[in-house]
Structure 1
Amino acid sequence: MLEQLWQSVIQLPSYLIDANKRIYLPYLVSAILMAIPVYWTLEKNKSLQSFIRFLFPREVWLSHSAKLDYCLLVTNRLIKAALFAPIVLTMVPIAMAVSGALETLFGPSLHLDVASWVVISLFTLALFIVDDFTRFVLHLLLHKVPFLWEFHKVHHSAKVLTPFTIYRSHPVESYLYACRMALAQGFVVGLGYYLFGSALSMYDILGANAFVFIFNICGSNLRHSHIWLSWGDKIEGWFISPAQHQVHHSNNPKHFDTNLGSALAIWDRMYGSLIKASVAGKISIGVGQYDAGHDSLVAIYAKPFIEAIKTIIPKKVKSRAIEEKRE
């Protein structure tokens, strides 16, 4: 177990060279490049020094909130290695179950005779769309179900945003997202196998789904940052811009539960939760007009369990407990 935990820690630098990780070096470089026009518009006295200060303000990167994010990158990795592996859902049995269910309902696998490039294109696109849709659904539940919100609140308790805020999450939420990924991929693989047989493959760029790579290279790391980058009203009706995701982190009640999508904005449009950067106005980051109390690692890990349990205690029991305290 100790060896497994140690391996998990020493593998953390590999995040910088893994195209499936948000802090992959080319994604970070692309974010810096996309920050240049924002800097150019805002700053009058331009220089390399002022650009570096613009990218890395001390009050953001060295804040207590940001330091907690750095710690969570490591501690969550250790928890995942120690606990998740034995209990997380995996894609293969789900894919087999989906394919088997389709055969039971509609007969033997079709194994359609279609050009390989069509199969690969459809499979790659389906993986991207189903993954994005299921992310939206789970994200919506994390916001709307009080029990789940207490765990997701950890992410929203960040008082500043940096690319490392993506790793500011409670292990319960991380587990739910891991299971969601297995279900989404398993469904697409099972359906693909039923339609086209085992000759399934994906268009990838350096090991990442081509569509995911394109999304990440287009400034995804600016989503969790202090740099306001809007893509304009037309594009933001289809894709979530970095500025739109910053609106999602706003502490203004008007912005709560908006822009829940990851890459595609169409789910928010359908649900009615889309807000474009042009109408959001100036924002401040946080969970609202109160402190979530997530000011230490102990509080981040323990408090959500306590508060989540309170959400499922019957109101009668709560009122009785209050009365007993008064007496």
Structure 2
Amino acid sequence: MEAKRLNKFISDTGFCSRREADNLLEQGRVTVNGKVPDAGTKVTAQDKVRIDGEMLRIRHEEPVFLLFNKPAGIATTTDLSVRNNIIQALNYPASLQPIGFLDRDAEGLLLLSNDTEWARKMTKADTRYEKEYIVTVDKLISPDFLNKVSEGGIPEPGEERKKNFVNRLGTNRFRIVLEPGTNHHLKRVVEGLGYKIVHLQRTRLSDLTAGKLHVGMWRTLTGTEITSLKNEISQKARRNFGSSRVADDFTDEDFAPRTTRPAKPKTPAKPGTSTRSATPANRSAKSSPRSTGSTGQKRIGKSKPASARPASRNTSRRTGGSPKR
């Protein structure tokens, strides 16, 4: 293994994201070979990296790429101390990271992967692929409101913006297709126009739709779907609706930053034990061949309902389900 930056090493173990790893480093909770590391430290597999005294280990997992039809009430965070987080909901035996952001109260399609580099690039390129939503707001919608929503909010005087497709579905309900290079912060746009979102459903991500994937279900992406997404995010960033900001300037963290909660002191695991607990570090253990699924064929599984999810992580492994959609 080549030397890599410490925050990437921590992210690759599945403990947390790079941004959360940077916070841990600033808090002095990370040690390398028993010493607090300097900024920019690089490490290899031979170095002993610990967080709050607990050793991190490189994962040995096959790449996993999932499409999840998220129910409302599930938080898109890897922090296991957060109630009804997506990791416990899926209970998938791999160190997954959600790609992008979908509000706890929203439902719809969300990508997850244990390929941290791909997940980071997909999140950074969040505005480079189309997204489609069905939105319900708290009061009657007008043609002027729909026009401003299609433009991504109220434009500056003289500013020209690329319009998104908007279709009125009812007195307080509409469908919108967010085009590449436009403002994808839909909740912020709607609230900026004096409305509140009552219900938000994401029905499409690029060319991915739910199809027969009911709410609460997940499936693995096919090799063709993965290749298509990788090609899409490799395109050059587009200018954002006539302004000087480019698509990469808008990220989900910019809209709704996630914070890492202060961790309680952890008791080091006893030698020889191999138990799976609610601590993120234990997600780095080597998974069985059943844990990853295939990128060339689809597997389907179902998440646990929010009311049935325990406070700590379930130790049972899910095997997915029928290979049919």
TM interval, short-chain normalised? under 0.3
Q: Normalized per residue, which structure has more helix?
A: 1
- Larger CA Rg, structure 1 vs 2: 1
More strand by share: 2
Report the TM-score when normalising by structure 2. Answer: 0.25
TM-score under structure 1 normalisation?
0.25
